[in-house]
Amino acid sequence: MIVCSCNVLSDHDVRDAVNAASDLPRNAKQLYGCLGCSAECGRCARTIKTIIQEALGPCAQACCAGCPHSALDEIQAELEAEVRVEYALAAS
């Protein structure tokens, strides 16, 4: 089923992108980034969000301990913290 008529994306495209992405897309904007396109009208955002949540299963809210995706979230949080510290030091 086509869920985004602007970019001609099907529900299978969305699920495949979620399963193939190393950095889990959790919203339509992130998914479009994985697919190399961008949102046009935005009418598909809710449907895409629902499909992403279904595809992620238990990882939809937050990855549980032992999930291979939880390590990615921890690394991202550490990098963001480092950037904030560097910015604070540069600003002072």
Greater confidence, 91 or 19? 19
In the chain, % of residues over pLDDT 70: 59
Write the class of the CATH domain 1-60: mainly alpha
Q: DSSP letter string over the chain?
A: -EEETTTTEEHHHHHHHHHH-SS---SHHHHHHHHT---SS-TTHHHHHHHHHHHHGGGTT-PPTT-HHHHHHHHHHHHHHHHHHHHHHHH-
Residue type, 48: I
Q: Comparing 38-42, 49-53, 70-74, 78-82, which segment has the lowest mean pLDDT?
A: 70-74
What confidence category does residue 90 fall into, taking pLDDT thresholds of 50, 70 and 90? low
| pLDDT per residue as tens digits for the range 48-71 | 989 988 888 766 555 555 555 555
